[in-house]
Amino acid sequence: MNEPSLVIRKFSDLANPTRFLALVARVWPWMAGMTICLFALGLYLAFATVGDYQQGDTVRIMYVHVPAAWLSMMGYSVMAVSALGTLVWRHPLADVSARAAAPIGACFTFVALVTGSLWGKPMWGTWWVWDARLTSVFVLFLMYLGLIALNRAMDDPTRAAKVGAVLILVGFINIPIIKFSVEWWNTLHQPASVIRLDGPTIDAEFLRPLLVMAAAFTLLFLTLHALAMRNEILRRRIAVLRRHAARAAGRPGGAA
């Protein structure tokens, strides 16, 4: 069997919830341990560096704000891929992935908004401005909350998965708006300084802890997402067992 076929087969195997649960049980302790180690290293580097000559110690907020902002967009991107998995590939765990990612993405977006406000007060003289970047990120936070509310409000999980997937894909237009808002419109928010075609413009002393913290936050997201998917699978299994028990007792089935 060639290598691509083997990869496709392994990916298909994960469509089985039981196999996915077994995989998560094996890898999540290692992922959690690596996350803790990266956070320890990142925080050490963050506090070992001197403050910026203009921003002072306020620059250290960047080591939390920037990764949280990246993860807010990554979380929604994961949901968009999962939505395609629901509508196009009919992957059994696609909706599980989307549901699991929504609360995590909302939390990272909230952290990005709060830390951005904490940085903006001493730098801009205000907690908040309705410029393109901040407004589009706030819209992203509302989109997360709306999708979470939708998942909780609809009793039919199949219908909720399809409706949610469509809304996720429609809302994905906001991700490039967030990314390029500082280039398309006049905004107080600084332009990209790390991911650029001509290379990072940030000093290496600040870039090292920022990249380590970004890796730590990313691994934290992946760990939480895997565990949240596990919990969602178990929740659905419990709901099925309750419906079966209700039918066996001669009562109407409960909602999932």
- pLDDT tens track for 51-96: 665 677 788 999 999 999 999 999 999 999 999 999 998 888 999 9
> Across-strand partners of 52?
56
Among all chains, which residue has been given the structure tokens 């009793």?
Answer: 155
DSSP classification of residue 199: -
Calculate the alpha carbon distances from 75 to 3, 101, 102, 103, 216 in Å: 29, 6, 7, 9, 15
Is pLDDT above 90 for 103? yes
Alpha-carbon distance of 87 to 141, in angstroms, equals 24
More confident call, 247 vs 175: 175
- pLDDT tens figures, 4-39: 555 555 556 667 899 999 999 999 999 999 999 999
Task: Pick 120 or 29 by higher pLDDT.
Answer: 29
Is this prediction's pTM over 0.75?
Answer: yes
Length of the chain: 256
Output the average pLDDT for the chain: 88
The residue with tokens 């999708």 is 147
Distance CA 36, CA 76 (A): 24
Query: Quick check: helix, strand or coil at residue 52?
Result: strand
* Cα–Cα nearest to 208, from 36, 40, 49, 50: 49
Quick check: 101 pLDDT over 90?
yes
Rounded CA gap, 220 and 104, in Å? Answer: 10
Which pLDDT band holds residue 256 (cuts at 50, 70, 90)?
very low
Do 232 and 160 meet the contact criterion of CB atoms below 8 Å apart?
no
pLDDT tens digits, 183-237: 877 776 766 666 655 556 677 788 899 999 999 999 999 999 999 999 999 999 9
Rounded Cα–Cα distance for residues 81 and 227 (Å): 19
